Amino acid sequence: MIKIKSLVKVLIVMLLCACINKISFGDIMLDVHASSAPNVYGSPSWNGYLSNALYALENGLSVNGDRSTDPTGYEVAPDIIGPGEIAVTTFNSWRGDINPLAPFNNEHGNRMHFGLHAYGDGTYQFMLEDLAFDMHSSDPTDTLVWGGDFIGFNYSSARYGIDWGSDRAKGGGDDITYNSGNGTTLVDEIVYVGAGNAWWPGGSDPDPANPIGGTQAAMDEYFAWVNSEAPILVTMNYTIGNYSGSDFVTVVPVPAAVILGVLGMGVAGLKLRKFT
């Protein structure tokens, strides 16, 4: 059971951060949506999730597929999530459960991706190399801190640009989509599955696929750490020039029974796994 003071902290964090979700200024909108995704490193479902996520981001959908029955399903994350939604593993796991049943039995955990849909109003174009991001977590050492830009990066299957053509409006048959090629190509719209990050239970073990204490112990240790630090606010901010957009999730403990007896285990087996 979450302590009352933790719930109060969650409410305060949500009030402080509500204003940063989908911020936009002037000519460019940056809509940002967090989503718990299959682990791109080893997941057989990643390509399906990628397709579902990009379609949803471009078309303003909060759900595309049913992730409760299909690991490729896309769903915008709620403001408050459990630890399993942001933990990747080298052993089989899904949403914090080890050795999950089919169709999740070949998954390797979940990474939080902050998907982006950036678009102009037809009067101002921009390019992938204008994009930058900045990620943080509110635990004492800011373990998920990560930032960067896309200078030298190309359009790809995970991020594409759309030029609206001579009519300067989306649609009309003259749009050009770039899913490869130089990131300096000017576009009116960018759709991006988003930079992603997660904690990595067992990642410090000599063989992360077979942690010394066992896979369940590695996951329990991670859950115990979240319980000791929660609520943990995870934020992402994207910028294109002077325009910005952000989203956040708050990670809270699971019920106390799950972490009973492991609160003193520490975080020796915890590392990070990033994706851009």
Q: 64 - beta bridge partners?
A: 74
- Does residue 255 have a cis bond before it (omega within 30 degrees)? no
Question: What are the phi and psi torsion angles at 11 (to 5°)?
Answer: -65, -40
Q: Where are the beta strands (DSSP E) in the chain?
A: 24-25, 28-38, 63-64, 74-75, 80-81, 93-94, 97-98, 110-119, 131-137, 146-149, 159-163, 176-178, 189-201, 232-240, 243-251, 270-275
Confidence of residue 257 (pLDDT cuts 50, 70, 90): very low
Residues 227, 204: Cα–Cα separation, whole Å: 20
What pLDDT score was predicted for residue 273? 58
Structure pTM?
Answer: 0.85
Q: Kindly report, residue by residue over 212-256, the tens digit of the pLDDT.
A: 999 999 999 999 999 999 999 999 999 999 999 999 999 998 764
Please report the pLDDT score of residue 27 as a whole number: 85
Give residue 254's pLDDT. Answer: 73
Predicted confidence (pLDDT) per residue in 86-107, tens digit? 999 999 999 999 999 999 999 9
Nearest Cα residue to 68 out of 92, 111, 103: 103
pLDDT of residue 187: 97
By CB atoms closer than 10 A (0-12, 13-18, 19+), residue 70 is: middle
3-state secondary structure of 178: strand
**Amino acid at position 44, single letter:** P
